[in-house]
Amino acid sequence: MPLRSAAAQPSDATRLRQLRRRLLNWYDRHHRCLPWRPNPQNQKPETKDQKPPTPYHILVSEAMLQQTQVATVVPYFHRFVEAFPTVHALAAADEQAVLRLWQGLGYYRRARHLHAAAQMIVERFGGQVPRTVDELMQLPGVGRYAAGAIASIAYGTRAPILDGNVARVLARWFAIEAPIDATATRHDLWALAEQLVPTQRAGDFNQALMELGALVCTPKSPQCDVCPVASLCDAHQAGRATELPLRSPRRAPKAVTHHVAAIEKRGRYVFEQRGPDSLWAHLWQLPTCEILGDERLADWARARLGLHVEPRGEPFTFTHATTHRAIAFVVQPMRATGGRLRPNVAVWRKLSALDDLPLANPQRRAVAWLREQS
């Protein structure tokens, strides 16, 4: 089997036409009904009352679906669009209210970007989600993939998409043997995606590609025996479906430790808000020290919060993985023995009264453990 790069792929018009047709036929019969997904263009609504999703719904769903599975997103999407049914409602919302509805979904920067995007849409685009890829890419947090998805799904604009899912499918269709995360390969894959996307039904086609990657051409166990394009797929024909795509060797995630001071006094705990430029920016947490060095946690807490504290009991430890870090959390229960909490630094809260303080997942885990102990 000769090594092939994306750039070397033939743009055989007949084959591309067959790929499009088979994929769209399969999508018409097998697509999942999702709350943000329009019916395929050639299908009527299932009921008279069924309202098609708006471009705003598609914008919200694309923000939520980045790095997150469909099943996880569905309940968040319902709650979010119920609280903020229009782009104007979201633009006018308080950021903490937006983060609260995002709580548990992770990657909170997406929520802040979506909020800022809604404000820009209201201020600069007259309250209408833009139609073109170039305009969409002016919105915070909207890259080329999301712009292509929104433009094609919401407006039928002929725009390609490429994310990890689509890259995997294309790498298999065309037996691409260059690492799909390499810059040159990404460039070539974008060109292939551009060639493939049809003028008619561009949104359905893009969703069909994503759906095939999610349901059939999955990373570890592609189901070639039920795949609608198996006879056109180079990797399958060569018996190499599970070997492709290739990736560059990954760097090991950086191991770091977050020391969490769970400081209690008369049934209340100290909570602080994270800064704007950090991981989990603007979310709340039990006071957490990311670089302790030789300092004792009690000394760090006194210097930061103005409280005298002492440990009580054994710490609770767990790990949390982010894209680039393996974080060991060490949650040390402590009691406040004196001093006064510095104003404007942190607040005292009962663990049962945290609804207005959005917490990132590892902090929620720490709080759940503290609740079990009390």
Position 99 contacts ligand SF4 (CB under 6 A): no
Choose the binding region for ligand SF4 from 177-185, 215-223, 268-276, 306-314 (rule: CB under 6 A): 215-223
Q: What is the largest CA-CA distance in the chain?
A: 78
Choose the binding region for ligand SF4 from 218-226, 249-257, 292-300, 310-318 (rule: CB under 6 A): 218-226
Q: Is 62 among the catalytic positions?
A: yes
Span 232-251, contacts to ligand SF4 by CB under 6 A: 233, 235-236, 241
Six token digits for residue 159: 């725009």
- CA distance linking residue 101 with residue 98, whole number of Å: 5
Minimum distance from residue 247 beta carbon to ligand SF4 (Å)? 16
Position 176 contacts ligand SF4 (CB under 6 A): no
Minimum distance from residue 114 beta carbon to ligand SF4 (Å)? 32
314: left (phi over 0), alpha (psi -120 to 50) or beta: beta
Q: In the chain, which ranges are E strands?
A: 254-265, 268-273, 284-285, 288-289, 307-311, 316-321, 325-339, 346-350
| Choice from 142, 227, 270, 370 touching ligand SF4 (CB under 6 A) | 227
Terminal CA-to-CA distance of the chain, rounded, Å? 63
DSSP 197-209: S-STTHHHHHHHH
Minimum distance from residue 38 beta carbon to ligand SF4 (Å)? 24
| Choice from 81, 90, 147, 216 touching ligand SF4 (CB under 6 A) | 216
Task: Output the CA angle 8-14-16, nearest 5 degrees.
Answer: 60
Instruction: Verify cis geometry, omega within 30 degrees of 0, for the bond prior to 198.
Output: no
| Choice from 19, 224, 307, 366 touching ligand SF4 (CB under 6 A) | 224
Position 263 contacts ligand SF4 (CB under 6 A): no
Q: Write the CA distances from 283 to 277, 280, 347, 357, 359, integer angstroms.
A: 11, 6, 13, 7, 5
Choose the binding region for ligand SF4 from 37-45, 122-130, 230-238, 286-294 (rule: CB under 6 A): 230-238
Minimum distance from residue 185 beta carbon to ligand SF4 (Å)? 17
Contact 263, 287 (CB under 8 A): yes
Contact 172, 222 (CB under 8 A): yes
Minimum distance from residue 146 beta carbon to ligand SF4 (Å)? 24
Position 193 contacts ligand SF4 (CB under 6 A): no
Number of residues that bind ligand SF4 (CB under 6 A): 15
Minimum distance from residue 7 beta carbon to ligand SF4 (Å)? 20
Residue of 46, 62, 177, 372 marked active site: 62
| Choice from 113, 172, 258, 259 touching ligand SF4 (CB under 6 A) | 172
Which amino acid would we find at residue 45? P
| Choice from 59, 230, 260, 298 touching ligand SF4 (CB under 6 A) | 230
- Neighbouring CB atoms inside 10 A of 118's CB total 27
Q: What is the dihedral of CA 224, 34, 131, 166, to 10 degrees?
A: -20
- Neighbouring CB atoms inside 10 A of 231's CB total 10
Nearest to ligand SF4 of 52, 219 (CB atom)? 219
Minimum distance from residue 164 beta carbon to ligand SF4 (Å)? 14
Q: What is the dihedral of CA 225, 226, 232, 233, to 10 degrees?
A: -60
Choose the binding region for ligand SF4 from 43-51, 125-133, 146-154, 219-227 (rule: CB under 6 A): 219-227
Nearest to ligand SF4 of 26, 107 (CB atom)? 26
| Choice from 166, 229, 336, 357 touching ligand SF4 (CB under 6 A) | 229
| Choice from 55, 148, 203, 222 touching ligand SF4 (CB under 6 A) | 222
Q: What share of the chain is helix, strand, coil (3-state, %, to 5)?
A: 45, 15, 40
Where does this chain bind ligand SF4 (CB under 6 A)?
A: 169, 172-173, 216-217, 222-224, 227, 229-230, 233, 235-236, 241
Among all residues, which ones are annotated catalytic?
A: 62
